[in-house]
Amino acid sequence: MKTFVGIDLGSTTTKAVLLDEDETVLGRGITNSRSNYETACSVATEEAKIDARFTLFRREFGAAGTLGDQVEEFLGALERSFRLEQFLEQLTDLEETCTRLVRGERFEKIGEGVKAALAEVFRRLRAEAPAMYAPDADRKSDFFRDIAGSRYLALAEEVGRESGVPYDVLLNIYDKSIIAVENRPPSGSLDEKFKNALQRVSKEKTDAASVLGKKAEHALGIELEETYLVGTGYGRVTLPFSKEHIRSEILCHGLGAHMMYPKTRTVLDIGGQDTKGIQVDPRGIVENFQMNDRCAAGCGRYLGYIADEMNMGLHELGPLAMKSSKPARINSTCTVFAGAELRDRLALGEKREDILAGLHRAIILRAISILSRSGGVADQMTFTGGVAKNEAAVRELKKLIAENYGDVTININPDSIYTGALGGAEFARRAAEGRMEGLDA
Amino acid sequence: MKPSVVKAQPQDVLKDASMIKQKQMMAAHYDRLTQAPETGAKVASTFVPGNLNELIMCFDLVNNLPEVNAIQSGLRKQSGAYIMEAERAGHSEDVCTYVKSDIGMMMKGNIGPNGKKLPDPDVLLLSYTGCFTFLKWFELLREQYKCPTIFLQTPYMADGKVTPNMIQYMVKQLKEDVIPTLEQVSGVKFDIDRLREYLKKSAQAEDDLVYILQTGKNKPSPIDAYFGGIYYIGPIFGAFRGTDDAIEYYRFLREEVDERLAKGLGPVTPDGPMAEEKYRLVVEGPPNYTSFRQFWKMFYDEGATVVASSYTKVGGTYDFGFRHDPDRPLESLAEYCLGVYTNRSLPMRIDMLCNYINEYEADGLLINSIKSCNSFSAGQLLIMREVEKRTGKPAAFIETDLVDPRYFSAANVKNRLESYFQMVEQKRSGKGAAA
C-alpha cells in the first residue's frame, strides 16, 4: 500500500508519522534527536513503520471480530517478541563492532583472550535477553544504549574476573563501540524481524494464536511503500532531502492542527526553543504567524531550567504549581533572571508552589503576546508542543484566554507532539497526489 | 552533520556595471571629503531624509552624511565594535545603532571607509525631524564639534497633506535662518540662479530614477527594489543630487535595466542573474547592513524578488509626481523635506504600501522591523494588519537591526522567510485545492 511520511526534526526529539491514502494515521514514531539528524530520521521513520504494522494487524484482526482479549494478549506478545528481535540484531552489531576493535599492537599478546571474553559476554547477554522481554519484565528504558549498557558492564566484570581479562579493557571497547552502533541507522529488514517474532509467538500452540498468527502473516504481506516523504523542523536543512521534500514547520503545524481539529483557527505551539502563534483558515492554510525572535525567553527550556534549579523533574513542575492558591507575580521571562527571582523568593519564604505558578503564568503571558501579534485568538484554538502537556501551563492559558478573548474552545490532543509530523505527512500525501495527477495528464 | 557553508570570495561576487559605477562615485565622494583639509573645502554634516544637497552645493560645501557612514561601517563589519565603544561611553543598548556606530567611529579616530580620517564638520544642518533621534544625535555632535547648528523644522504630515502654510513656514526658515547661516559659515553669497540650475539637474535624474524603480511592475521584474534599490538610491539621496554625475549615473542605469527588461531577465544578484521569479514582494522598513549579502541570499535563493519598497523613498518620495522645481526653488526644497517616507502619517504609509501591492502585482508584504528605529517601527504591526485586510495578500514580520550585528539571528530570519514564502505558495495554490 502507498504510505506518506512526515518527519519533524525537533531540537530535542524527532517525530515521524505515516499516513495512508485515506489520510488516516497508520503509525507514529519518536526518538531522541542525538547529534545525528540522519539517524534520528531513519529511527523515527522505522518506529512509525513498526507502529503502522500493528495498526495493520489490528485492522486484519478486526475483520475476524470476536477474539477480544486474546487479540490484545497476542499483540502484546508480538510486540515484546519484536522488540527482542530488534535488541538481538543491535546486539550482534555491537558484538561485531567490539570484536573489530581488538587489533593492533595493544592486543598483540592479549587479543585472543579478549576476543574469547567478548564472545562469552555476548553469549550470556543473548541468553538473558528473552527474560528482559518477558511479559512482566520491568525495563527502565526503551533505548538500546541503556538496556544493553548496564548488563554489558555487569557481565564484563563477571567474565573478566573468571578469565583474567582486565575489566577496563572490556569497558573501553564497549565505550568506543556503543556510540558507533547508536549512530548507525537501523539495518536489517523489518519484515524479517516481524517474521521471526511471529514465529516465536506462534510456538504457543493455542487456537487463538494460530488463527491470529495466520492473519498477522497475511497482514505482513501488505507492503508499506514509502510513496512520498516531507521533512520539517529545525533539522530539516541538514537532511539529504531535495527542496520539494521540505516544508516549513509553521505550515506543518497549521495543517496538523487543522487535521486533528478541523475547526482550529488559531494554533499555539510552545516547544523547546520557540513559541509560535499561527492563524489558519477553514482549510488549514496559514494566514499569519509570529514567533519569538531574538531570544527564546518563555519557551519549554525555561521550565527545564527551573526544574534543574529546584532539583525537580520536569514533569513534577505542573502538579506542584497546581497546588498554588496565590500565584506569585513574576514578570520576567528571561530564563536567567527567573532563576535569580526564584532563589530570591525562596529565601523570602514564599511557597514553592506559588512561585512555580507565577513562573507558569509568565510563560503563558509571553505566549499571549506572541498570539496577539499574530492576530489574536479565534475560536477554536489548538495548543500543541511539549508545554501543552503541563497542566499548570494549560490552566494559566485557559484563564488568560478567557480574560482576553472570552469563550474559546481550547483543544489539546494527547498526540500533540506529532502535530508537525502529521502536517508534513499530509503535505507528502498531497504532493504525491499532485504528481500522480500530473502524470495522468 | 553540519551543512557545508560555501562562502563566496570577493572576486566571485557578481556586480553589474552600474553597481561598479555607483561604488566608484561613492569612493570619489569619500576622497573629496577626506581631502577637505588639504583642499580647504568646508564640510556640512546633514542627514539623508530630506537633505538639501542642492542648497549645500550653492555654498561650495561638501556634504557628509553620518547615516551613510554608519551604513558603510555596517557593510564593512566595523559597526559592531563601534557600537560597543559607544555603549562603553554610556549610550544605552536601545539607542539607534546608526547613532552609536557614528559616535563609536568618532571615538576611534573617525576613520572613513577609504581608510582616511573624516574631516570635522564646519556646520551641522538638520533639515528633517520625522525622526526625533536626529535632534539628539546632532546635539551630541554639536557638543563634540562646537560648530554652528542649523535646525530646519519640517512639520509632520499628520493630516496626510501638505498645506500652503507648511510651505510658507519652511521657506521662511530657509530665508531667515538656513541661508544666512550657510553664507556666514562658507563665506559664499547665496545665488538663487545657481540653485535653480542644480534643481533642474536633480529633476532630470529623478525622472530616470522613477522610471527605473517602476520597472518593478514588469514580470519578471528586471530589478530588486530593496537590495538592488539600495544601490540605486545612493547617489540621489546622498551627495550627488543636482550634479551631472547623477544624471549620467541614472541614464546609464536606466539603459542597463532596459536591456534586461528587453531580454526578459530578472535582477542581478551577487551570485549571478536571478533564475526564476517565484515570489514578488513589497518590503517595508530598512534593511540589515551587517549581514546584507546573507540576508539578500535568503531571498534570491528562494526566487523572491522585491518589486517595490518603502525604504527607497526614505530620502524623498518621487513616485507620486514630486520633482525638484527650478521655478519654485525654495518651495520645492520644502516639499521635498515634507514628502519623505517617515514624515508621512500611518494612513499615508498604508495607502502607499497597498498601492504598491496592487500596482506592482505583488504576492504580499514583508515587514523588516528594525529594533533600534522607532520612527520606522512604531505602528508597523497595525500597518501590516491593515494592508492585509485591504489587499487580501499575506504579510509577514521579521525583526533585525540596521548595523548592530547582535540583532541579526540568521537561522531565525531564514526560518521565517522560508515559512512566509511557503505560506504565499500555499495561499496561491490552495485556492482551488480541497483541504
pLDDT grade for B1, boundaries at 50, 70 and 90: very low
Task: Over range A221-246, report the average pLDDT.
Answer: 82
Q: C-alpha grid cell for residue B161?
A: 497633506
Task: Over range B287-312, report the average pLDDT.
Answer: 96
Better-predicted residue by pLDDT, A35 or A89 = A89
HEC per residue, B238-276: CCCCCCHHHHHHHHHHHHHHHHHHHHCCCCEECCEECCC
Search chain A and give the residue with CA nearest B365: A288
Q: Give the other-Cβ count within 10 Å of A81's Cβ.
A: 22
Q: Which residues of B touch A238 (CB under 8 A)?
A: 1-3
- Average per-residue pLDDT in chain A? 87
Residue numbers of A between 317 and 376 with CB closer than 8 Å to B: 373, 375
Question: What are the sequence ranges of the domains in chain A?
Answer: 264-412
Beta bridge partners of B62: B43
Question: Is the CB of A36 less than 8 angstroms away from the CB of B1?
Answer: yes
pLDDT at A436 over 50: no
pLDDT of residue B9: 45
Q: Which residues of B touch A276 (CB under 8 A)?
A: none
pLDDT at B181 over 60: yes
Mutate to test the interface with B, among A285, A295, A299, A430 (most CBs of B within 10 A): A285
Residue numbers of A between 207 and 246 with CB closer than 8 Å to B: 237-238
pLDDT of residue A264: 97
pTM comes to 0.80
Question: Is the CB of B422 less than 8 angstroms away from the CB of A283?
Answer: no
Q: Is A316 left (phi over 0), alpha (psi -120 to 50) or beta?
A: alpha
Identify the CA nearest to A180 among candidates A145, A143, A129, A140: A145
pLDDT of residue B3: 43
pLDDT at A68 over 90: no
Where does B57-186 show beta strands of DSSP type E? 61-64, 123-126, 149-151
- Average per-residue pLDDT in chain B? 92
Query: Chain A: nearest CA to B407, how far in angstroms?
Result: 7
Search chain B and give the residue with CA nearest A283: B435
Name the 3-class secondary structure at B400: strand
Name the 3-class secondary structure at B317: coil
Task: Over range B398-422, report the average pLDDT.
Answer: 90
pLDDT of residue A66: 61
pLDDT grade for A435, boundaries at 50, 70 and 90: low
Residues A250/A286, Cβ–Cβ less than 8 Å = yes
Residues A178/A149, Cβ–Cβ less than 8 Å = yes
Name the 3-class secondary structure at B323: coil
In whole angstroms, what is the distance from residue B52 CA to residue B173 CA?
Answer: 13
Cβ of A427 under 8 Å from any chain B Cβ? Answer: no
Burial of A292 (0-12, 13-18, 19+ CB in 10 A): buried
Question: Is the CB of A285 less than 8 angstroms away from the CB of B426?
Answer: yes
pLDDT of residue B281: 98
pLDDT at A109 over 50: yes
Q: Which residues of B touch A282 (CB under 8 A)?
A: 435
Architecture (CATH level 2) of domain A264-412? 2-Layer Sandwich (3.30)
Burial of B116 (0-12, 13-18, 19+ CB in 10 A): middle
Mutate to test the interface with B, among A259, A291, A369 (most CBs of B within 10 A): A291
pLDDT grade for B433, boundaries at 50, 70 and 90: very low
Question: pLDDT per residue over B3-46, tens digit each?
Answer: 444 444 445 667 788 999 999 999 999 999 999 999 999 999 99
In whole angstroms, what is the distance from residue B384 CA to residue B377 CA?
Answer: 11
Cβ of B5 under 8 Å from any chain A Cβ? Answer: no
Question: pLDDT per residue over A262-318, tens digit each?
Answer: 999 999 999 877 889 999 999 998 999 988 766 667 788 888 888 888 888 888 899
Q: Which residues of B touch A373 (CB under 8 A)?
A: 381, 397
Query: Chain A: nearest CA to B402, how far in angstroms?
Result: 14
pLDDT at A368 over 50: yes
ipTM of the complex as predicted: 0.70
Question: Is the CB of A247 less than 8 angstroms away from the CB of B422?
Answer: yes
Question: pLDDT per residue over A118-176, tens digit each?
Answer: 999 999 999 999 988 888 887 767 778 888 888 999 999 999 999 999 999 999 999 99
